[in-house]
Amino acid sequence: MVKTKPKPTQDKFLLYVRYTFRQNALSVSYRDVNAIEHLLRKGARQLDMYEDTGVKDCFVSKTMIEWKERKYSEAVAELPPSTLVELIDMNKCRSDLVRQQVLGQYYI
């Protein structure tokens, strides 16, 4: 779904989908089958709605952006320095924030 959207907004759609999925997953017990089924149906309807060619952009809140920054900074903190060097060399870092943290921490 994300790859069908305009390039400038693909990151926003990806963040919206990931954030929404994580928040819903954390809000329900793995034993609550009815709630899980409800969230699956709701998610399928939302995906159908966002897959429409008329939808060109979505709203990303400040909370979502902060969640993404926390997620990436935690991921970077857990990586060994050799992996960080490889990530930077191969340009696999997805955000400038991660690059700044890595460059600042290891002076590459």
Give the tokens for residue 67: 């969640």
Q: How far is CA 33 from the centre of its chain?
A: 25
User: Domain ranges in the chain?
Assistant: 2-51, 62-106
pLDDT at 64: 94
Residue 6 has pLDDT above 70, yes or no: yes
Residue 99 has pLDDT above 70, yes or no: no
Three-state helix/strand/coil letters over 8-40: HHHHHHHHHHHHHHHHHHHCCCCCCHHHHHHHH
Q: Over the stretch 21-63, which tens digit does the pLDDT of each residue have?
A: 999 999 999 899 999 999 999 999 999 999 999 999 999 999 9
- The model's pTM is 0.68
